[in-house]
Amino acid sequence: MNKTDDISLKNRIKQKASELGFDLVGICRPDYSPEDHDRLQRWLDKNYHAKMDYMGRTPRQRSDPGLFFENARSVISVGINYYNEPAYLPDRPYISLYARGRPYQDVVKGKLKTLLEFIRNIRPETRGKIAVDTSPTFDKLWAEKAGLGWRGKNTLLINRKIGSFVFLGELFLNLDLEPDPPETDHCADCRKCLDACPTGALVEPRVLDANLCISYLTIEAEGPLENPALIGNNLFGCDICQLACPYNKGALPARAPEFSPEPAIPENDTNFVGMAEADFKNRYSGTILGKSGFNRYKNKAKAVDINIKKLGEPLDFESS
């Protein structure tokens, strides 16, 4: 394939990705990143992964695409905005924006599968492998290399136009495609996300201690909470470091209908702690929260109810 054909295919891929609902798309080379491998190993050595043992099973594979997909020649990185007005109030139970819509892994994988089929119709010899979140590879590394954004001090990918409320995915291909220029860091000396984190989970820029992270404690951690006060008013997940980020001020709402917050979230329910299982399933069926299960919800709801009753001053995301 000559350079003109390469550019034409790249443009067609990007156009198709946009038609499928992706807000961001870029391409990079699948080069091994020893820096990211070493960074992960240091993180694991400090036990910042808490009980997420799966993070340590294939550390080299996460930063070396050749071990994830043997014939990788290019990585198509995609992002889809899931932002909707969070209506965050510290005296009301809160559910992270990411958990209010359909399971994003299914949505992103489905769209990437369609994109792969589209490419195969043009180039039948194409082989590819899809990765979304749970796959042992670094989503944010490839997104940064492909120009979608940069890894912010809160460890999340930030895009200058749409902020950090973005679901990521990758399509590893055996095709050579012209890479896009990587994005550079635009956090400068800002540290609003670090200062806003109520538990100190952001121990330094771009380093997260999951043992203290509200998202980990309310989503990943199993069983009763050792310190229920840590989760504050957060029933499932946490958006505090994102709400503090200047790049999320005035963020545009998601255009993907899969991530519209339906049905109503518990902020509108004064009896959230006493919700029956049938009501929970009826209200949250089809959402990430619903998929997580009623027992997990009840466990966190009791803690949140106690924390709200003990609440002091509201969090101020605009200060500092």
> Is the pLDDT confidence value at 6 over 80?
no
At residue 316, the pLDDT reads 47
Cα separation of 160 and 149, whole Å? Answer: 7
Per-residue CA distances from 35 to 39, 66, 77 (Å): 6, 16, 20
Catalytic residue list: 133
Reported as a single tens digit per residue, the pLDDT across 217-275 is 999 988 788 999 999 999 999 999 999 999 999 899 999 989 876 544 555 556 788 88
Q: Which residue has the higher pLDDT, 82 or 283?
A: 82
Helices (H), 97-145: 104-122, 139-145
At residue 317, the pLDDT reads 44
At residue 312, the pLDDT reads 57
Instruction: Tell me if the domain spanning 3-90+100-173 has CATH number 3.30.70.
Output: no
DSSP character at residue 49: T
**pLDDT mean over 128-151:** 95
Q: What is the 3-state secondary structure of 162-184? A: CECCEEEEEEEECCCCCCCCCCC
At residue 274, the pLDDT reads 86
Cα separation of 80 and 98, whole Å? Answer: 11
Average pLDDT score over the chain: 90
- Domains in the chain: boundaries: 3-90+100-173, 192-250+262-309
Count of CB atoms within 10 A of residue 263's CB?
Answer: 13
At residue 3, the pLDDT reads 57
**pLDDT mean over 135-143:** 93
**pLDDT mean over 126-148:** 94
Q: At what angle do helices 104-122 and 3-19 cross, to 10 degrees?
A: 150
Rounded to the nearest 10°, the torsion over CA 231, 234, 235, 239 is -120
At residue 224, the pLDDT reads 83
Q: b vs e for 46-77, b when ≥16 Cβ sit within 10 Å of the residue's Cβ?
A: eebbbeeeebeeebebbbbbeebbeebebbbb
SS3 at position 115: helix
Indicate the range of 27-31, 148-152, 201-205, 301-305 predicted with least confidence.
Answer: 301-305
**pLDDT mean over 96-117:** 95
**pLDDT mean over 129-135:** 91
At residue 135, the pLDDT reads 87
Q: What would the two tokens of residue 154 be?
A: 């809160």
Band (pLDDT 50/70/90 cuts) for residue 61 is confident
Cβ(247)–Cβ(163) below 8 Å: yes
Closest of 8, 26, 128, 9 to residue 76, by C-alpha: 26
Helices (H), the chain: 3-19, 34-45, 59-63, 65-68, 104-122, 139-145, 192-196, 214-215, 240-243, 277-284, 288-292, 294-309
At residue 244, the pLDDT reads 97
Band (pLDDT 50/70/90 cuts) for residue 319 is very low
> Is the pLDDT confidence value at 305 over 50?
yes
Band (pLDDT 50/70/90 cuts) for residue 315 is very low
Reported as a single tens digit per residue, the pLDDT across 190-205 is 999 999 999 999 999 9
Cβ(229)–Cβ(195) below 8 Å: no
At residue 272, the pLDDT reads 83
